[in-house]
Amino acid sequence: MSIATVAVEPAASNLRLLSGNHACALGAIAAGCRFFAGYPITPSSEIAERLSRELPRVDGVFIQMEDEIASIAAVIGASMGGAKAMTATSGPGFSLKQENLGYAALAEIPCVIVNVMRGGPSTGMPTRPAQGDIMQARWGSHGDFPVIVLAPGSVREIYEETIRAFALAETYRTPVTVLYDQSIAQLLETVELKQPGAPVERKWASGPPEKYQPYAPLDNGVPAMARPGDGYRSHTTGLTHAENGFPTQTPEVVERNIGRLLGKLERHRAAIESFQTLRCEDADVVVVAVGISARAAGSAVAACRAKGIRAGMFRPITLWPFPEEALRRAASGARAVLVPEMNAGQMRLEVERVLGRDVRIEGLHKISGDPIDPAAITARIEALCI
């Protein structure tokens, strides 16, 4: 072969310039997502658009449903069939999905829901960023139910956390919400598309079908799921059910089963929790911030340190379950805690619950549809130090 005919290809690079929404779509594919159902809504639609192109190439299915309720229903249905499945939406659509999200939590059907936050309430500000769904993401459906919410703060993290969302959903058989806002969704950043290992797979039922109990937990507190066609012929319902999967209202049985469900994630907190601390060791003021607000907070901490002010930052990446112990440790030496967030004070409520009355806690709230300016955070830190 002569040298002239050898194509000189640059080493395939994993670096890509991507928006948050495109990174989310590619993260889903890398995690093994093979079904997506959605309904267009700003600022999440690029996820659906990208997946409508990517999924057919990997033998997956994309479908645009008639509304958000149908979208999450189809996602849960696909997951019942054995596929890793995801939907993506924004505030108004996230509200519509809540009933079926609770169904997935109770029936223990793994699925991933992306909620790209925009200004609310109601139709609000479709093209402006906000962080107003922090509490809805935890408590949006009726009744007590377990849920995992991941809150990435950069395009790279959206890619990685989307992959982690699938792993957690499969491992703990629970819906996982990926929560970020319009500004990161449409921000362009360079991402290294690291290929994860083999996709994490839920535990499938094995062994003799006569012995199979669909909701009897394995050692880790999570039951094995029956895949249709494997011979188990089990029943799945949104009615409160016993270990055998059939409805029950017997108080002891309800207590045992709902108790296990609610304890399921608590038991694995250490594996689910994820957070970042920045210079908290000696901090007089600890800023607690999530998502895009944490990026402003990070700059503010740097600016304060340059002025000799001892500031630090604590950033939950797993927003729910909230990393309580880690926050207590991070804020243990602080005189004051500042919670900047693009809502009227939702995460501050949780910070107050966790830290109690021993430390001064203030909020910096922005509800105008603008992100929080680092200078505003710096000024508040300075004020808290006086």
Residue 203 beta carbon to other proteins: minimum distance, rounded to whole angstroms? 18
Would you say 247 or 263 has its CB closer to other proteins?
247
Closest distance of CB 138 from other proteins, Å: 21
Q: Which of 19, 90, 95, 100 binds other proteins (CB under 8 A)?
A: 100
Of residues 243 and 362, the one with the C-beta less far from other proteins: 243
> What are the φ and ψ backbone dihedral angles of 371, each rounded to 5 degrees?
-70, 165
| Buried/exposed 253-283: b ≥16 CB within 10 Å, e otherwise | eeeebbebbeebbeebeeebbbbbbbbbeeb
Question: DSSP assignment, residue 186?
Answer: T
Quote the CA–CA distance of 33 and 22 in Å, as a whole number: 14
By beta-carbon proximity to other proteins, the closer residue of 227 and 260 is 227
Closest to other proteins by CB, 78 or 317: 78
Please choose, from the candidates 159, 147, 205, the residue with its C-alpha nearest in 3D space to the C-alpha of residue 26. Answer: 159
Site for other proteins in 246-265 (CB under 8 A): 246-247
By the rule CB under 8 A, 53 interacts with other proteins: yes
141 near other proteins, rule: CB under 8 A: no
Residue 32 near residue 112, CB atoms below 8 Å:
no
Dihedral (Cα; 374, 379, 381, 383), 10-degree rounding: -170
Out of 5, 9, 66, 249, point to the residue binding other proteins (CB under 8 A). 66
User: Does residue 355 bind other proteins (CB under 8 A)?
Assistant: no
Minimum separation from the CB atom of position 271 to other proteins (A):
28
Cβ(380)–Cβ(338) under 8 Å? yes
Nearest CB to other proteins, comparing residues 18 and 283: 18
Give me the 16-45 binding string for other proteins, x by CB under 8 A, dash otherwise.
Answer: x-x-------x-------xx-x--------
Binding characters for other proteins, 162-201, by CB under 8 A (x = yes): -------------------------------x--------
Give 26's contacts (C-beta < 8 A, 6+ positions apart): 16, 18, 50, 54, 159, 193
**Burial call 351-371: b when 16+ CB within 10 Å, e when fewer:** bbebbeeebebbbbbbbeeeb
Residue among 73 and 331 whose Cβ is closer to other proteins: 73
Query: Nearer to other proteins by C-beta: 243 or 273?
Result: 243
Burial status of residue 16 (CB atoms within 10 A of its CB: 0-12, 13-18, 19 or more): middle
Angle, CA of 146, 151 and 154, to the nearest 5°: 160
Q: Applying CB under 8 A, which residues contact other proteins? A: 16, 18, 26, 34-35, 37, 53-57, 59, 61, 63, 65-67, 69-71, 73-83, 85, 99-100, 103, 193, 226, 228-239, 246-247
